Chains A and B, each alone.
Chain A
Amino acid sequence: MHKVILYRLLQFPLVLAVIYLLTFLLAWVAPGNPFVNERTLDPLVVESLQKRFHAESAAKFLAYYPYNILLHGDFGPSMQYKEWTVNDIIKSALPISVTLGLVAVTIAVFVGVFVGTLAAVRRGGVLDWSSLSITLVGISLPSFVTAAVLLMLAAATRALPVGGWGTLSGMILPGFALSLAPMAYIARLTRVSMLDVLGSDYIRTARAKGLSKRVVVWKHCLRNAFLPVLSYLGPAAATTLTGSFVVEKVFNIPGLGQHFVNSVLNRDRTLILGVVMVESAFLLSFNLLVDVAYSWLDPRIDITAKVGG
């Protein structure tokens, strides 16, 4: 068990390095100059900027930046936001995205599991269809529509702050908007795996033994049915934590999600790399965490065994 964890941890640097190189290649090949502004620039100006950012050529870039990252953990200056280093930007944005993501994941888990369980237990009934339909709206409407509509509701009812970051109540609405998509998937997953579990023998035994339906469902079924949700939760949490562009743009939240998209649109190569590294690190660690939690929750599962044998 510990060997597996160690093995996976050792693979991290290799995978991260490959992701770094691939992202760098893609970002470099993309046409577009990060230093272009509203006016045409003198070639001298462009040259001096490129020299400053070690971006005259791919070779010079790769000679300077990875070295800095490995030795000092320093991703260098941002090409678009010239007063700020990539580290500054990530340091200011990451806590906000993490908080927002956690709020979203919590809401998604609670509501999604509840709805999914209900749908499984009352299968085929009105509750099944309607509860699922409501959560499915979360993945049937584009996120910018739901976020914008929620913002307008907040403004109309004046109940909650209309954007920005700082107050506890300001986290509710964006968190909810962000939670809709994972909520729908969690509900679906819960429903599917609950149905799985509900049909198994030991549950029938428990019912035969006389245990009440509520105890059987919520205590025994859920524990086992939760496993697929857990494994979905890993990568979903990683990507939700590192922010959603749309929610941050609509609610004006200074998180990391906007940088995912904006850095690409701005061809801010250093920031792209920094942000992608952060997201990959989260993704890899969460996957590992989830696999560990998986086997801890269900001792029968052995993650060291190869799938299929």
Chain B
Amino acid sequence: MRSFIIIPLGLVALVVGAAVWSGGGVERRADFTFINRGDIYTLDLNQMSYLQDFRLTYGIREGLYGLDPHTYRPIPAGATGYDLSDDKRVWTFHLRPQCRWSNGDPVTAGDYVFSWRRMLEEPGEYTYLFYYVRNAEKYEKSYAANDPIDWKTVGIETPDPLTLRVTLTDPVTYLLDLMAFPPFYPRHEKSMEPFKVPQGPNGHYSYRNEYTRPPAVVTNGPFELTRWDFKRRLVLRKSDTYWDKANVRTNSIEMVVNDNPLSQFLQYEAGEVDWLADLSGTDLAAELKDKGRKDLRVSPAFGTAFLTLLCSDRMPDDLGGGVGGIKNPLADMRVRQALAMSIDKNFIVDNVTRMGELPARTYLPPDGTLPLFTFLAGPYDPGREAGKRYTDSEFRKLLTSPPAAAGPGLPYDPAAARKLLADAGYPGGKGFPALPICYNTDSVARAKLVQVVKNQWAQQLNVNVEIVPIEGKVFRERVSKKDYAIATVAWYGDYPDVATFTDKYLSTSLQNDCNWVNLKFDALCAQGAKEGDAEKRMRILERAEDLIDTEVPIIPVYHYVNVSLNKDNVHGVEANPRQITVFKGVYVDK
């Protein structure tokens, strides 16, 4: 019996021992605790692409320009100002002499050049933004081909350590917003040196991502990253070397990692966190809104959810469901328009997403980010002939009323849709193949959207589609390889300009995953890129946007909203369409 009792006693002893071993350590609570949109993917500027990564980077790093905490317009940060040449192509930035890295070294123009050159030599998702710079793309491609052109011919120069001269191929009116965007931030070469790894015999090299982790990481922003416990938390501490530290209102910030919306909410309710940065896409948010929670903050986001339709002539050969290789019905614009006009988007935003999103008729969101932009009247708007336009705010108001016939883009009109479908050769939906509609299984909202759309098309047009759930990585690969028929996707704007949306559908763009080729669209975008005057440029790009909204290679469904939770005593986390948080101005009234 004695020997037998060892088992339960042993178990208990092991439990206690393991509990001690696994640690956990409850420290003093930070001044400001929040839960980000998800876990951090990477803090390496080269590879960054997720919103939550950018949000954190705004707190620990800084570029030539920063963003005003209230208007989110660019304000001088790492630079004190700039000079612009007459042809608007040469920008000379004057660096602020007081800027320091977290280890005390001064921030020099060389740090910017190092970081930008890294973006070209080891391309990342946002390297394409550097193509505005003269010869940057040529340098990148030639470097990859092991025959790099002379770096001096690239339009990035440093006449002295505190001056940075950037020469562009064409004028870019929104360059300051780009300078405020993390891919353009500087990096500290010396501290990254220990992480350098050669990449093959041709002299290429890379840096192991561990350089972004404490204690080795060196940054120049208002906060320093002092601690990163994988999958648990990141801790930021106010930087002593920051030039504007007098205006940094919090001493310590903790980002708690929590992927589960329910668990996030429970932590917030228990008072463990001050701010839930992103609850969008969850049913929980909708329930909170219905209950009238005062601490729920909902505001428009600079992004659109839409269905992308493959516009190639034939379906991909290995597409399943018996439709591989057939003639593509979606290549006909009338079919696409019919599909677009038979989706009741109001039902979707009222019952599926329920957060007061705007049902979408255009690709570009009218959320106030581009107040100068006007939308042209759509093909079924009687005012189209007269050149009627809708301002950003007029359009927003129009979208909150029932789906009227007049307005930009296509209206909700099942009768007209049926006629269009018949004209295209599928009267009453007869003969229309059962196309697969794919969605990403990571998102619950998309699963519901797809089921509603399938139902609506079946009821209104007698068109049947097959629902195909595909998991995340495979889904993105297939969409980018154009191996789909219909898919639910989304797009967010990276910087406050039309180009971040329209550039996607250039026939030469890598991001054009629906294979829509419209030479008039390409010409308009090219013309807009060359236009130096902001107003004239808007007029050109408005016509480009109208082409997308009329020919519907993509069917916009709704415009996203930002949803966050915080009590009134938290300041500085006001929502803005691009989900930027200026941590400098964040503080909690205890």
CB–CB under 8 A between A and B in the complex?
yes
Given contacts A40-B513, A102-B18, A223-B1, contact A252 B476 (CB under 8 A): no
- A81 in the interface, Cβ–Cβ < 8 Å? yes
CB within 8 Å of B: which A81-121 residues: 81-85, 88-89, 92-93, 95-96, 98-99, 102-103, 105-106, 109-110
Report whether A32 and B471 are in contact in the complex, using a CB–CB cutoff of 8 Å: yes
Given known A-B contacts A254-B257, A265-B473, A102 and B232 have beta carbons under 8 A apart: no
Q: Which of A6-14, A131-139, A164-172, A191-199 sits within the interface?
A: A164-172
Q: What is the CB-to-nearest-CB distance from A109 to chain B, in angstroms, rounded to a whole number?
A: 7
Is the pair A51, B199 in contact by a Cβ cutoff of 8 Å?
yes
CB neighbours (8 Å) of A163 from chain B are: 258, 260, 263, 266-267
Per-residue interface assignment for chain A, residues 291 to 308, with 1 indicating a CB less than 8 Å from any chain B CB and 0 otherwise: 000000100000000000
Q: Of B40-48, B150-158, B177-185, B368-376, which binds chain A?
A: B40-48
Q: Is the CB of A250 within 8 A of B15?
A: no
- Say which one of B74-82, B117-125, B382-390, B550-558 lies at the interface with A: B117-125
Most chain B CB neighbours (cut-off 10 Å) among A39, A103, A167, A265: A39
B246 at the interface (CB under 8 A from A): no
With contacts A44-B123, A77-B208, A83-B213 known, is A162 near B267, CB below 8 A?
yes
Q: Give the residue of B15, B44, B272 whose beta carbon is less than 8 angstroms from that of A99.
A: B15
Q: From residue B425, how far is it (CB to closest CB) to chain A in Å?
A: 32
Q: Please indicate the chain B residues that have their CB under 8 angstroms from the CB of A41 in the complex.
A: 125, 480, 510
CB contacts (< 8 Å) of B19 on chain A: these are 99, 168, 171
Measured between beta carbons, the chain B residues less than 8 angstroms from A230 are 7
Given A89-B230, A96-B22, A250:B11 Cβ within 8 A: no
Q: Are A31 and B477 in contact (CB under 8 A)?
A: yes
Query: A52-B206, A89-B230, A105-B11 given as contacts; is B257 within 8 A of A162 (CB)?
Result: no
Q: Tell me, yes or no, whether B12 is within 8 Å of chain A by CB.
A: yes
For B22, list chain A residues within 8 Å (CB).
Answer: 95-96, 98-99, 165
* A-side contacts of B228, CB under 8 Å: 83
Q: Which of A155, A167, A249 contacts B24 (CB 8 A)?
A: A167
**In the docked arrangement, what's the CA distance between A45 and B120, Å?**
10
A249 — nearest CB in chain B belongs to which residue? B260
Q: Tell me how many residues of B have a C-beta within 8 Å of chain A.
A: 70
Chain B contacts with A in 442-478, Cβ cutoff 8 A:
471-474, 476-477
Indicate whether B295 reaches chain A with its CB closer than 8 angstroms.
no
Asked whether B203 is an interface residue with its Cβ less than 8 Å from the other chain, the reply is no
Known contacts A83-B209, A98-B22, A251-B263; decide if A36 and B199 are in contact (CB<8 Å).
no
**Contact flag A51-B200 (CB < 8 Å), given A106-B11, A166-B24, A223-B1:** yes
Query: B568 at the A/B interface (Cβ < 8 Å)?
Result: no
Cross-chain contact B229 with A92 (CB below 8 angstroms): yes
**Distance between Cα atoms of A89 and B232 in the complex (Å):** 12
Of B7, B44, B197, B199, which is within 8 A of A82 by CB? B44
Which residues of B lie under 8 Å from residue A164 when comparing CB positions? 256, 258, 263, 267, 272
* Residue pair A32, B49 in contact (C-beta under 8 Å): no
Bound form: Cα–Cα A258–B42 in Å? 19
B43 surroundings in chain A (CB, below 8 A): 83
Residues A37 and B123 in contact, CB atoms below 8 Å apart: no
Q: Which A residues form the contact surface with B (CB < 8 A)? A: 31-34, 36-42, 44-45, 48-49, 51-52, 77, 80-85, 88-89, 92-93, 95-96, 98-99, 102-103, 105-106, 109-110, 148, 151, 155, 158, 161-168, 171, 219, 222-223, 226, 230, 249-252, 254, 258, 265-267, 297
A-B CB contact pairs (8 Å), 19 listed: A32-B477, A37-B41, A40-B511, A44-B123, A45-B123, A80-B41, A93-B230, A99-B22, A102-B18, A106-B8, A151-B263, A162-B266, A163-B267, A164-B258, A164-B272, A222-B4, A252-B259, A252-B263, A265-B471
Closest 10 CB pairs of A and B: A166-B24, A40-B480, A95-B22, A254-B231, A99-B18, A162-B266, A32-B473, A32-B474, A82-B209, A163-B263
